[in-house]
Structure formats: C-alpha cells, structure tokens
Structure 1
Amino acid sequence: MINKFKNVKNPVVINSIDINDILNIIKIGDSNLSIINSIRTLGKSNVLYDELKTTKLPTFRFNFRFEGKATNKNIIEPTGYIYLDVDNCNNIQLDSNYVFAFWKSISNTGYSVLVKVNNLNINNFKETYIAIGKELNINLDENAGKPSQQTVLSYDKDLYHNSDSLVFDAIDKKVSNAIIKKKGRRGITTNDTFSESSKIRFDNINDYFINDEVGYIYFKEEKENIAQPFIPKRVEAGKRNSTMFYVLGQYALLNPTAGESYLISWANTINKNVMYPRLNDNELRGIVKSVIKKRLEKTLELNLNKPRRILFNPNKKMEQKEKMNITNKLIGKAKTEATKQEIYNIIEDWNFQFLGKITQKKVSVVSNKSIATVKRYWSDFKAYISDLNSNVVKTVPSVKTMSNIYCISKSCDVEKFVSYENLFPDSTKYFYNKNKLPLLDLSRVA
C-alpha cells in the first residue's frame, strides 16, 4: 500500500492506496484530470503553475510507508518500490526488465519511474537510488533522491506497466547518515565512505552532491539546515569542557574515521585559541576519549545549525564572482516569484461586489505596490483577469447601503488612498466603521 497526501505542502498521511489503483488513476484519470490539463497548459513559466501544482493535486510517496507524518523518523516499512525522478526528458526508452512502471510527470518535461526493490532501508537508500539510475542509464534528479520523496498525481494514457519486472537488490553498503538523518537530528553512525586520507570535513555540504557535475543546489521552498559547527571566539571557565566536547563531537561525526590523534590535534588548536584559561592535557584526553566512546555507541547527535538557501558543490571549482552571480540571479528570481504570488493571491481573493472589476490601479492600491510593479507582471495574469472580469455581474452597492464594509487588505496604506485624489469622488474618499477603522471604497477606481 502507498501513502497518499492532500498536496505537496501537507505531509500528513490521509490514506493508503494499492499501487495498481494508483497506476490506473494515472493512466485513465480521475476528478483531478481537468486541473492536471490546466497546469500543463499554463506551463512552468506561468506564476499560477506552482500554486496549482502544490495546492490542488494529491501526492504519493512510493519509497516508504509513514506513521502519521512523512518524516524519516516516522518510517514504518519499505513499500517494495523505489521512485526515481527523471528530469528534462521529453521522450524515454526504458527496455530494462527492472522497470515496473513509468509515466509522464505533471510538467510534461520528465518521467516518473518505479522499480521493485528488496531490503531497502533509510541507510542504503541513497546508494541504491544511484545504482538503479546507473543500471537504467537515466539522468536522475538529485534533489528527488531521498526516502520521503513525494510525487504529484499526473496523467499519462501511455503509462508503461510491467507487473512481472525483476526485483533489484538494495545495495548492501553503509552510507553517510549525516544527510539521511539530518531532519531528526538523531545519532550519526560511522561509515566506510570516508578514509583517513580524505579531506577533513568541517561541514556536511558534500553529502548533498552525488557527483561533481552539479555545481549547486537551490532550496526554493525553505532554507536547508546544514551542519557547520560554531566555535565561540572566547570560552571562559565553566563552559570550556562542554564546548570542547560539543565541537569535537561534531567534527567526529563529520569525519567518522578520524581517530584519537586527529581529535587531539583539533582539541589542542581549539584550546590554544579560544579557551581561557586553557584546559590541561589530561582534561583534553579525557574529552577526546569520551567523544570516541559516544561515537562508537552511536549516541552523538549532529547539530544542523546553519540555514542555507544555496549550497555550492565543494568539489567543483568556482570563482567567488561566479558564485555571487548565481546567488544574485536565484535570489532575484525568488523575489520576482514572491511578488507574483502576492498579486495572484489578491486576484484570487478579489471581492467583486465591493471592489468591482479588477484593474491595475486597484491591484496597486490593494497590494500597496507601485503601479509600475503591477504593470511589470500584469501580462502573467491578463488572460485570467479578463476571464474573471467577463464573468462577474457588477453589483457594487451604493454608499448608503454599505452596512458591512470591511478593510480589504491589512497592508493597505490609508495615506496612499488619500493621495489618489483623481480616483475617488470628493464625498467618499474613505469610510469608517463602528470601530473607527478606515474602510476604502474602490468601486469608483478606474
């Protein structure tokens, strides 16, 4: 059985559905088909695309079943399948006997692939995900390679389904849990993926990159918390032992095979630069032995203390100027999308009875944004607004009958309204209700 969720933004399990029933829905369609077709017609460049995709369609998580909420710590058991997301592919040829099913994604620019798998668990998931991608020779979406990955309901009448597909045996190899268990902040186990000769790690950024081809990862929805141990500039008596244990513990988790000599070396450096007064040698050795013991017992916790919007691949050489250009471009795009989203929300919640038809000037006033800003993005909404306006019957009440007028937006600037002398009749620039709150009549705004 596969867990179903209300939409992308809601991680709470609403029910469980048989895999064959889900495939039939994708192949034949259900009550959501009209929404899917609308999303595809709009395309990714339209501001409405993400809004509809993330709020109007159910999602499924094919890798594991969850208890209540879809988080790694709530995993009950594997489903027997692994989900793979193939990016930027308009046509796919999968003749491997391992393929159980594949279909067009909601964007129409990629594919969703399912493979039967044995012995999949949270520890071997990443390695198995990569191995299957290589076996099928497909370009995987790295961001989709996580145990709790979800996929939005799609439609594909040409969906491929092979119930007799071969079963892939999960990779029997330890992998770094620093990335797999990051959300729960649980104990991090040692692994065999980091050798004494490897580069010393002071954060867990390289856990996010499968290979060196990807230059960066951008977290659009919310910042990602990474592990980047913080060392105070000065630590006084009373906090020295606990601070030293914490910092060494984090380094020990980030470098699972680092032995006593490495930890002693780091301890001496920290002791020399930030401890006042310094800890003696016996105290340092005692702390190091305690850290190693806790690591072996798997009771240390990796602290994800640093929120990051963008992660750059540490194995890919990039100049600082190039990184800044990428950052500015992505942040600028995010601000643009946020502005479009604000305008869209205002249009969606438009009160035609009180405000009349939607116009650029009215949206500018309600959103408290300049008319130039509204005009800049108007083309994204023009057809939609035209459709809304054409279907509305103008029933704006007169001033005398407005007994239940309410404030149309918390962000409204009353002084801004007053400055629009040409937009309001002299006698009705704005009104007050029984609570003496300014209530504005936009029915006369052009």
Structure 2
Amino acid sequence: MNPSVWLRQLDLLRGPDQPTISTDALLDGDGALVAWGEEAAGQAQAQGLRAHDAQGWLLAPSLVDPHSVLEDPFGGRAENLTSLEKAAAAGGFGTVALLPWGPHWRDRPERLGLKPSGPMQLKLWGSFSCDGLDQDLAPQAEQLAAGAVGLAGADGMPPLALLERGLTLGDMADAPLLVAPRQAELTAGGFVRESVQALRSGWPGDLRISESFPLQSLLALASAHPQRQLVLMNLSTAEGVALLRQARPQQKIPAATVSWWHLVSDSGNLDLAAEGWRVVPSLGAPPDRQALLDALAEGLITAVAVHHLPLDGEEHLLPIDQRRPGVAGHGAPHGLVLPLLWQELVVGRGWSAAQLWQVLSWGGSELLGQQPEQLTAGSKRWLLFDPCAEWDWQPSQSLSLAANQPFGGSRLRGLVRASGLTSPADWALSA
C-alpha cells in the first residue's frame, strides 16, 4: 500500500449547504479520505508524515454526469467501458449515467446488466421507445424495475402522440423522462445555430425553431401531466431559455440539462479549424451561450451534462459535414469540464465553489434520484482540484480512446490532481 498523504491548509467543501473551510486533510494509501481538521493533523503527526502544502487546492465531493453515450461498452473502438471509467474518474467524476443509445438499443431489462469494473457508479437510462425508433413504447416499468434510473429518448423529440400516450399510461410513474427539445426536420440541414457568426463561418445554419417549437409542446405536456418528471435534455438556445422563464410563473417547469460544451464555446469564439463545431444540439451564437449561463445561475437549468459522444479515428477523418456529430475531450471530455467551467464561472463570473458543485454534482444527483455527493470519512468519492495549476493538453495523453477531442495543444489552467477513484500512484501532488 502507498503511504498516507497529509494535505495542509486546503479548501474543503463537504457537501450541499456547507461552507468551504480552510483545513487539513488526511488520505490513506488506498485512496480513502481518513479525516480532516485537527483530527487529520493529529493522526498525520502521529504517523510522522511530511505535510504537502495544498493551500488554494480544493477537496470536494465527486462530480456527477447525468447523461453520456457509450454505444459499444466492450468492443468499442471509439470508447469502451474500461476507458470511459478511467477517464471519467481522472476528471473527478464519480457517477456517469449512460443513455440507452447504441447499435443494440438498451430498451429492455436483459440489456440493462452493464456493471462497472471499478468503484465508479455507473447508472443506466432505460429507453422510452422500442429500439429508439419512436414507434412503439418500450417495456418501461420492467426497465425501471431492472434498475434503470429513468427513461430517455434519442436526440430528438418523439412524436407528440407517442409522448402523450406514454405520459398518460404512466408506466414510468415518477421516474424522470429525459427528452430532447429538438425536431430534426426543422433544422433545414444545418448544424450550427443560425446567426451572423454562422453565416460568416460558412457553416449551414440550424433554424432556431428546431428547438423552440418542440419545447413549446413539451412545456404544454409538462403542464398537462404535472405528476410526471419530464426533463429537458441539452437546452441550447436563448429562445429556449426565454420560454422556460416565461412559463415559470404559471407552472412547475421541467428540469433541464445543458451540455458543458455549450457553456464554454459558441460560434463567435471557436476557431474555424477547431474541434467541436458539429454537435447535437447545434452550437449556438454568443447570445445563446450567455443565456444558458444566466439560466444556470438562476436555477432554470438544473445540471451540466458531459454528454460524451466519442468518434473513432476512422470516422473522425471524414469531412465535418459527413461525420456524426459529437465532441469529446481529455479523459472523455470529463477531464476538461471542471478546469474550463471553473475558469468560466468561478474566475470569470464570481461563482463560489459551492455554486459550481450545485450544477456539476448535486444537480446531477437530483436528476438521477440519488443522494447528493458529500465527503465522509472512509469514502473514496472525492476529488482534489488545483485551480491555479497550468498544464499543456495533448490528446495523445488522453485516457479516452475518442478521436474527437477539443483544445488539443492548448495550455489550460486548473487540474484535477487526485481522486479517490484513481490509483494513488497516478496522483499529481507536486505543486
């Protein structure tokens, strides 16, 4: 076993409604959090440990990804279960919930037996429809009984008649139903949200009504079925945010997620040669990103999703208009999410660490019906983040197999130095 680690004067965020405090912490050689405060210092001194100066570092609960994609868990070239778990854990994530998408759609109980190989908590969404084709309802109650955290559709809204039927039958009871407010036939073949920036870039524009029109229908369904837990997957436009804000005084609005990528990138700040132009929902203009950030601060949006959708090297070589949409990053995108959102929200907008954890951890737990993550003695569900560390990111260093990884060659600020879900031998505790 590796020796225990004594961290001096770090910032510690224990859980929801808890203040961030400056204290010591003690980690054992197996990765468990032993103690903090005076107890940690006392035990460390009794063991004769040398203290690591961790001033400015943050010890906090693991992050939660409410939805990502893993199409082929065991033989995938773009990603497999082992690579996803390792990459997510290295990025500070302790829970990843997988959508039912894949060549063999996870739409029945016997297809929901996917188990993590390590300490990662792997949650599975069941499918709203058979094979994700939006023609017939899948056996919903049976999937939930088999352990599904909720039901999910594909990357577009199912037909209204099928949605109405499913909500009326109520086989999902009070489990969350994750639906994308997107109608593919209204995109006009575009893959960047229509805007002046999209016109300048030369990319085909995705009409704004491809989100606002189906969202209006979903809000009406949510109002008609208040006993159901409808969740909007990956809100992406200023118009969508405005519709939620308008509806809030009259009704209980659905919970919503937003992709991390739409919070850090838009058609005005992304280089034309950069990775990440082709995503679903389409990348927005600067006002869209601003509206999403404001909605996150207001609580209109409940949680940030990683929504990892990896491509293999062969598919990634195709022209951008011929490849499937998706974006990944260091350790899937999981390793980029915290550093980039810390810079965007904490440094750039004055958020507290607790506010950031609300959307990156506790909000995701809420959507999945789980208890919020918090630090407890003996637990390995923690991460150690250094907001000031600078490092050069190269996709060749990634634990993920995905080829579509953004920000390659960039110098980034903020680093997950350690996690209880990774091997202590891999921790980067040298300041």
Band the TM-score falls in, shorter-chain normalisation: under 0.3
TM-score normalised by the chain length of structure 1: 0.27
TM-score normalised by the chain length of structure 2: 0.27
- Larger % of helix: which? 1
The structure with more radius of gyration: 1
- Larger % of strand: which? 2
